[in-house]
């Protein structure tokens, strides 16, 4: 069982090119699944039945194995992981059939992504740039760029200097997304100016403490800024800006706000899909769900007896 699991993870690494944190999540999910199978007396992949898979989905919902009950999103991810493994086992001849072929991930409630207003984004970015020295210039440039491009935080901190094109009227950035898929995204003038100011006035000072790296965003030791440090930058700026629910502001908040504000401004959903790097437009369409505020505004403006 362990050898079959390691073979699948190696396949995901080499053939699929999954990111390290995605692989770590798959390993956690599948390790728990294998432990469940062993407790049920299954010693090899060929012994697993569809009933075993269904029983495990129930375990995820109830925590009957003594582990945490997973949220609907986490449970769905876990089921996707085991479905992929069973498909791999069948194709590789390690199991006679795909035991998970008919098992579906638990349904998830549709929720609007959390976004903040345009005014709140401005306050957030301004708060990040408060202070003297190179760090405030870096923090402002980072948040301006993430909001301007809709980049994932991992994509932003993974940028190298050669990925930037900051020429006036055609500023753009090359982002490396999930599955190592590249996309080129325009950069707005506010972000281009902030990044240019950082590169000229701040990055050289930060780079002086390191061994030389092509990374755009550097920490105070001159090395590439980590995802965790970038998260801390955002959290600190949100608290400093006095945003409501600052403790819940995450790097994805700016990405969600980017998409929401574009669609509110009239952008086509397929254009937003390309900018976000979504493989399917279905993923992007969650941003088009009508909010209660929008319903009230349209009703008030359109119904003859609304006012």
* Active-site choice (42, 87, 114, 252): 252
**What 3-state DSSP class applies to 116?**
coil
Instruction: Tally Cβ neighbours within 10 Å of residue 3.
Output: 10
Element (H, E) at 185: strand 182-186
* Active-site choice (27, 178, 183, 240): 178
178 in catalytic set: yes
Tokens of 48: 């697993």
What are the b/e assignments for 58-97, b being 16+ CB within 10 Å? ebbeeeeeeeeebeeeebbbbbebbbbbbbbbbeeebbee
110 in catalytic set: no
Q: Which residues pair with 172 in a beta bridge?
A: 165, 186
The residue among 9, 13, 105, 1 whose CA lies nearest residue 61 is 105
Whole-number Å distance between alpha carbons of 216 and 123? 24
278 in catalytic set: yes
33 in catalytic set: no
Name 275's Cβ contacts closer than 8 Å, sequence gap at least 6: 149, 150, 183, 185, 258, 259, 262
248 in catalytic set: no
* Active-site choice (152, 203, 224, 261): 152
* Active-site choice (138, 224, 255, 256): 255
152 in catalytic set: yes
Which residues belong to the active site? 152, 178, 252, 255, 278, 287
């Amino acid at each position: 069982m362990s050898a079959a699991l390691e073979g699948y993870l190696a396949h995901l690494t080499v053939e699929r090119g999954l990111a390290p944190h995605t692989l770590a999540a798959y390993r956690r999910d599948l390790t728990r699944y294998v432990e469940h199978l062993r407790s049920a007396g299954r010693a090899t992949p060929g012994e697993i039945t569809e009933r075993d898979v269904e029983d495990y989905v129930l375990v995820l919902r109830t925590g009957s194995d003594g582990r945490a009950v997973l949220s609907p999103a986490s449970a769905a991810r876990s089921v996707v992981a085991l479905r992929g493994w069973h498909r791999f086992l069948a194709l590789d001849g390690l199991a006679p059939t795909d035991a998970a072929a008919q098992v579906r991930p638990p349904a998830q409630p549709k929720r609007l992504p959390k976004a903040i207003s345009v005014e709140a984004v401005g306050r957030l970015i301004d708060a990040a740039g408060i202070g003297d020295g190179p760090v405030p210039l870096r923090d402002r440039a980072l948040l301006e760029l993430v909001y301007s491009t809709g980049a994932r935080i991992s994509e932003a901190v993974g940028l190298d200097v050669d990925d930037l094109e900051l020429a006036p009227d055609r500023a753009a950035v090359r982002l490396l997304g999930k599955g190592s898929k590249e996309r080129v995204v325009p950069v707005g003038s506010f972000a281009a100016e902030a990044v240019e100011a950082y590169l000229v006035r701040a990055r050289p000072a930060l780079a002086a403490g390191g061994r030389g790296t092509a990374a755009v965003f550097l920490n105070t030791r001159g090395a590439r800024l980590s995802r965790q440090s970038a998260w801390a930058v955002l959290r600190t700026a949100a608290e400093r800006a006095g945003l409501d629910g600052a403790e819940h502001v995450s790097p994805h908040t700016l990405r969600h706000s980017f998409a929401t504000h574009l669609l509110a401004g009239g952008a086509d959903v397929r254009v937003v899909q390309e900018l976000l790097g979504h493989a399917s437009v279905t993923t992007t369409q969650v941003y088009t769900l009508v909010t209660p505020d929008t319903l009230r505004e349209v009703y008030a403006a359109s119904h003859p007896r609304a006012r």
